[in-house]
Amino acid sequence: MNDLLIDRLKKLAASKTWEECSEKDGDEFFDPNDYAGGNIDDAYAGGKEDGGIELAREVLAAMDIKW
């Protein structure tokens, strides 16, 4: 894996997921509807983005790379 890809993964891994944003706002329970507002397209896009963040974190952890 080249340095450019690792840098991109680190940047993505450092992003906040919807759930982390919810916790930061002091919400005890994560409710995707608070972020998607009932819009299925927004919910889908948010899930895709969060999935990418989680995958980047998993790949970096598997390679023992701190982000």
CA distance 61 to 39: 33
Query: Are 6 and 65 a contacting pair, CB within 8 Å?
Result: yes
Q: How many domains in the chain? A: 1
Six token digits for residue 5: 């890809």
Mean pLDDT of 9-27: 87
26-61 pLDDT per residue, tens: 777 777 777 788 888 988 998 999 999 999 999 999
Give the domain extent around 58: 3-23+35-62
pLDDT of the residue at 22: 82
**Domain contains 29:** no
Whether residue 67 has pLDDT greater than 80: yes
**Domain contains 30:** no
Query: Are 53 and 17 a contacting pair, CB within 8 Å?
Result: yes
**Domain contains 28:** no
Q: How far is the CA of 22 from the CAs of 14, 29, 55, in angstroms?
A: 16, 8, 20
Mean pLDDT of 10-18: 94
pLDDT of the residue at 30: 79
